[in-house]
Structure 1
Amino acid sequence: MKKNRMPFLQLFLLFIAVLITSCETKPSKPNILFAILDDATYSHFGAYGCDWVNTPNFDRIAAQGILFNKAYTPNAKCAPSRSAILTGRNSWQLEEAANHWSYFPQKFKTVGEALSENGYHVGYTGKGWAPGVAGEIDGIKRQLIGKAYNNKQLTSPTSGISSIDYAENFIDFLDTKNTPEPFMFWFGSYEPHRAYEFGSGIEKGNKNLKDISKIYSFWPENDTIITDLLDYAYEIEYFDHQLGLMLEELENRSIIDNTIIIVTSDNGMPFPRIKGQEYELSNHMPLAIMWPNGIKNPGRKIDDFVSFIDFTPTLLDLAGIENSGMQPVEGKSLSNLFYAENSGIIDSSRDHVLIGKERHDIGRPEDQGYPIRGIVKGDYLFIQNFETSRWPAGNPETGYLNCDGSQTKTACLDAKANKDTFKYWAWSFAKRPEIELYNINDDPECMINLAENPSSSSIINELKKQLYAELKAQSDPRMEGKGYLFDQYQYADKSGVNFYERYMRGEKLKTGWVNASDFEEL
Structure 2
Amino acid sequence: MLTGRNPWQLDAAMNHSIFFPNYFKTYPEVLDENGYFVGYTGKGYAPGKAFKEDGSKREILIKDFSAHKTTPPTKYISNNDYASNFGAFLEASDKKPWAFWLGFTEPHRAYEYGSGVAKGGKKLGMVDNIPKYYPDSDTTRNDLLDYAMEIEYMDSHIERVLKILEASRQLENTLIVFTSDHGMPFPRVKGNQYLNSNNVPFAVMWKKGIKNAGRVVTDYVNMTDLAPTFLEVAGITVQKSGMRPITGKSLVPIFNATKSGQVDAARNFQLVGQERHDFGRPKDVGYPVRGMHKNGFLYLKNYEPDRWPACNPETGYLNCDGGPVKTMLLDHRRKGIDKYFWKLSFGKRPAEELYDLSKDPDCINNLAQNSNYQSIKKSMEREMEAKLLAQGDLRMQGYGHLYEQYPGAEVNGFYERFMKGEKFKLGWVNEGDFEKEAIKD
Q: TM-score normalized by structure 2?
A: 0.97
Structure 1 residue 138: Cα displacement = 3.4
Q: Determine if the alignment matches structure 1 residue 231 to structure 2 residue 146.
A: yes
Task: Name the aligned partner's letter for residue 468 of structure 1.
Answer: E
CA contact (8 A) 1:220 1:411 kept: no
Aligned to 1:275: 190
| SS across alignment from 1:366 | helix
**Looking at CA atoms only, which structure, 1 or 2, has the larger radius of gyration?**
1
Question: Is the 8 Å Cα contact of residues 385 and 433 (structure 1) preserved in structure 2?
Answer: yes
Give the corresponding residue for 1:168.
84
> Shift of residue 452 of structure 1?
1.8
State the identity as a percent: 51
Whole-Å separation in 2 of the counterparts to 1:162 and 1:178: 28
The structure 2 residue matched to 1:364, chosen from 251, 262, 281, is 281
Aligned to 1:517: 432
- What is the rounded CA distance, in whole Å, between the counterparts of 1:286 and 1:254 in structure 2? 26
**2:125 equivalent in structure 1:** 210
Q: Where in structure 1 are there 5+ consecutive unaligned residues?
A: 1-84
Q: Measure, in 2, the Cα distance between the counterparts of 1:196 and 1:418.
A: 25
Q: Paired residue for 2:175?
A: 260
Matches within 5 A, 1:131-170: 131-170=47-86
Tell me the equivalent position of 1:306.
Answer: 221
String of CA shifts for 1:97-126, please: whole Å, max 9, x gaps.
111101000110001101111111110000
Report if the CA contact (8 A) 1:380-1:439 is conserved.
Answer: yes
2:416 counterpart (501, 510, 515)? 501
3-state SS in 1 of match to 2:216: strand
3-state DSSP of counterpart to 2:255: helix
- Note the C-alpha offset of 1:418: 5.6
1:332 is matched by which residue type in structure 2? Answer: K
What is the match of residue 438 of structure 1? 355
Match of 1:96 in 2: 12
State the Cα distance separating 1:363 from its structure 2 match. Answer: 0.6
**Superimposed CA distance per residue, residues 39-60 of structure 1 (whole angstroms, 9 cap, x where no aligned partner):** xxxxxxxxxxxxxxxxxxxxxx
Q: Decide whether the 8 Å contact of 1:193 with 1:270 is kept in 2.
A: yes
In 1, Cα distance between equivalents of 2:44 and 2:128:
35
Q: In the aligned structure 2, how far is the partner of 1:119 from the partner of 1:137?
A: 23
163, 166, 169: which one pairs with 1:251?
A: 166
* Cα distance between partner residues in 2 of 1:340 and 1:133: 40
Q: Which one of 453, 473, 482 corresponds to residue 370 of structure 2?
A: 453
Instruction: Select which of 302, 326, 329 maps to 1:412.
Output: 329
**Cα deviation code 1:271-320 (max 9, x no counterpart):** 00000000000011111100011101112222111111111111111111
Equivalent position to 1:113, from 11, 26, 29: 29
User: Hey, what's the Cα distance between the residues in 2 that align with 1:479 and 1:340?
Assistant: 36
Larger relative contact order (CA 8 Å, sep ≥ 6): 1
Which one of the candidate residues 304, 308, 316 is aligned to 1:399? 316
Write the distance in 2 (CA, Å) between the matches of 1:421 and 1:359: 29
1:295–1:338 contact (8 Å) kept in structure 2: yes
CA distance in 2, matches of 1:149, 1:188: 11
* Cα distance in structure 1, aligned partners of 2:268 and 2:129: 31
Match of 1:184 among 99, 105, 109: 99
Note closer, same or farther for the CA distance 1:354–1:405 as it changes in structure 2 (3 Å cut): same
Instruction: Let me know the Cα RMSD of the aligned residues.
Output: 1.1
Letter in 2 for 1:174: L
Compute the displacement of 1:419 (Å). Answer: 5.5
- What SS is found at the alignment partner of 1:461? helix
The answer to whether the 8 Å contact 1:267/1:282 transfers is yes
Match of 2:398 in 1: 481
- Indicate the residue corresponding to 1:387 in structure 2: 304
Query: Is there any run of 5+ residues in structure 2 with no aligned partner, and where?
Result: none
Q: Matched residue of 2:154: which SS?
A: helix
